[in-house]
Amino acid sequence: MLIRVKKVLALGLILLALPSASSANEGHDDGAKKPAVTADAGMIARTARVGDYEVMMKHPALEQLHEHSARLFITTYATNEPVKEATANLIIAAKGKEPIKIAAKPSARAGEYELKLPPLDSGNYSFSVVVKIGRVEQTASYSVVTIEAPQSAATAGKLAGAGNALLWSLGMLLLTVVGVTSYRVWHRHAILQPES
């Protein structure tokens, strides 16, 4: 019986240690190696078909009031061949605001164009690209783009601290329940079978 009590107490101590081991955060080594970040990690791709062409826009997650770089890829839809002779303008529109027009600059690669997205306030924006190939002008429209205000670091830290405190409290509660139950089982066993 004493061995069983020791096993239960050891299990309780292991469970108590688990919440503190899982609370590592930035600046602490949690033992896991992070994979190398590639240039396209975290990029968002938006694709629209316009006539015989496909227009893809890639950009990072948009943060409030930050300038971002973006790329346009214009290809023939059927063959996926890059379109070399095109002009493109990004139109950013928001309800109650004047639309912003940004000219795309051709890059060194065929069919690829570069954009500088201006700093935008939080809100919902409509992105569309006006593409002119030859004498034909077409518009590629994308879904609504939402830019949210960032959560303050203090709030994020408080939430993480509250989660760690909750895990620690649950661990202590579990250890207490295991300890009290073990004692009661041992005590009952001792009363029913007195030592000889």
User: What token pair was written down for 156?
Assistant: 């994020």
Residue 62 phi, psi (nearest 5): -80, 130
Pair 57, 117 in one domain: yes
Pair 109, 160 in one domain: no
| pLDDT tens track for 107-157 | 999 999 999 999 999 899 999 999 999 899 999 999 888 888 876 655 656
Please give the residue range of the domain that contains residue 10: 2-25+152-192
Pair 66, 134 in one domain: yes
Pair 109, 83 in one domain: yes
Residue 33 domain-assigned?
Answer: no
Separation between Cα atoms, residue 37 and residue 137, nearest integer Å: 38
Output helix, strand, coil percentages for the chain, rounded to the nearest 5. 30, 35, 35
What per-residue confidence (pLDDT) applies to 29? 44
Tokens 């954009």 map to which residue?
115
Cα 123 to Cα 12, 116, 117, 145, 155: the distances in Å are: 49, 19, 15, 8, 21
3 state SS of 161: helix
| pLDDT tens track for 58-100 | 999 888 888 999 999 999 999 999 998 899 999 999 998 999 9
The rounded mean pLDDT for the chain is 81
Q: Give residues with Cβ within 8 angstroms of 1, minimum separation 6.
A: 185, 186, 189
Pair 165, 135 in one domain: no
Pair 136, 159 in one domain: no
